[in-house]
Amino acid sequence: MMTCRECVEQLLEFLNNELHAEMCAQIRAHLEKCPPCVNYVESYRLTVHLTRQLPCGELPPEIAERLQAALKACSEREA
């Protein structure tokens, strides 16, 4: 049985139809039995959809700095 972590690790490829049929079937089977992962997938899809609607171009410097700081803090927590 696939774990939640394994499901999430394959999510981008799954949503982009880049996985082989057996792996897709395993993810679908996991999602049928795991409501938290279903919620995660739906919020991930919504995030991707909304992100694709953002305008292209450079971020204002203050927003870029805040984003960089947040990413750095996140990577430091994972280390």
Q: pLDDT digit string (tens) for 52-78?
A: 888 888 888 998 899 899 988 888 877
pLDDT tier at 1, thresholds 50, 70, 90: confident
Query: Residue 79 pLDDT > 80, yes or no?
Result: no
Q: How far apart, in whole angstroms, are the C-alpha atoms of residue 13 and residue 71? A: 23
Full-model pTM: 0.65
- Running DSSP on this structure, what letter comes out for residue 59? P
With contact defined as beta carbons under 8 Å apart, do 15 and 45 qualify?
A: yes
Better-predicted residue by pLDDT, 28 or 64: 28
Any idea where the domains of the chain sit in the sequence?
4-78
Q: What is the pLDDT of residues 31-42, one digit of tens each?
A: 999 999 999 999
